[in-house]
């Protein structure tokens, strides 16, 4: 059976448009990315506190230089990247740390730099009692989505060099958080919230460790 010329033309146009539509869907699915913001968790811990002054060195990133912190793996095996929206995450995390100190009424001084060694404690500003240099070792989100649920694992790992001027010593502190959750649907806003809760908690524990070791 022969297809009339005009009908064949319409059919070819339909097939062409269908192909373009299908390719656009594939392209959109492949390019989907979840962007997360870093900010202090709304429930900020306000104790314990101290009358000592803490000097804060700008945080350093020990992770590979990439905005990608993980991925969501769909049931068909396709990966959707999870990335940080900020180009300067260590600046954001330093800012969160300073917010936490302020919430506890702890006087903080921003240091432009400090080599974390006992011999350099004498070079700190006179008002600084404790100096802290924090390193971001891990910041990850890994999600696996199935038909009726999504399992999400987080990892926040921070290490710090803490200098105590009165004691003339520098110690190393490490904290990490590994929350896990199983949810019905993957929601970017909820993932962002849980990541920030884990980050804020880890930073709070660094403050606790510094205060308790000051004596």
Q: Domains of the chain: which residue ranges? A: 1-31, 34-214
Nearest-5° angle of CA 157, CA 155, CA 63? 55
Helix, strand or coil, per DSSP, at residue 205 = helix
Structure tokens at 168: 């003339």
Tens of pLDDT, residue by residue over 21-45, are 555 454 444 559 999 999 998 777 7
Residues with Cβ within 8 Å of 114's Cβ and at least 6 positions away in sequence, in order, are 55, 57, 120, 123, 124, 131, 133, 163
Tens of pLDDT, residue by residue over 49-68, are 899 999 999 999 999 888 89
The predicted structure's pLDDT at residue 27: 42
| Residue 114: burial class (beta carbons within 10 Å; 0-12, 13-18, 19+) | buried
Top CATH class, 34-214: alpha beta
What is the full DSSP assignment across 165-178?
TTTTEEEEEEEEE-
The predicted structure's pLDDT at residue 214: 82
Q: What is the pTM of this model?
A: 0.83
Cα(203)–Cα(175) distance, rounded to whole angstroms? 8
Cα(64)–Cα(196) distance, rounded to whole angstroms? 20
């Amino acid at each position: 059976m022969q297809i009339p010329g005009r009908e064949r033309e319409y059919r070819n146009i339909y097939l062409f448009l269908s192909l373009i539509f299908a390719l656009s869907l594939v392209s959109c699915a492949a390019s989907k990315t979840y962007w997360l913001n870093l900010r202090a968790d709304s429930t900020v811990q306000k104790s314990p506190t101290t009358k000592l002054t803490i000097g804060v060195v700008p945080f350093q990133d020990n992770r590979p230089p990439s905005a990608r912190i993980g991925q969501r793996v769909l049931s068909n095996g396709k990966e959707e990247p999870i990335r940080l929206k900020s180009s300067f995450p260590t600046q954001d995390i330093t800012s969160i740390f300073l917010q936490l100190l302020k919430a506890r009424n702890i006087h903080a001084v921003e240091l432009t730099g400090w080599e974390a060694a006992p011999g350099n404690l004498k070079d700190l500003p006179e008002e600084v009692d404790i100096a802290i240099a924090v390193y971001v070792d891990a910041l990850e989100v890994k999600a696996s989505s199935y038909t009726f649920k999504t399992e999400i694992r987080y990892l926040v790992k921070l290490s710090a060099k803490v200098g105590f001027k009165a004691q003339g010593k520098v110690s190393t502190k490490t904290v990490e958080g590994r929350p896990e959750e199983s949810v019905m649907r993957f929601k970017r806003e909820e993932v962002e919230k849980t990541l920030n809760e884990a980050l804020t908690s880890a930073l709070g524990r660094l403050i606790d460790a510094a205060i308790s070791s000051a004596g």
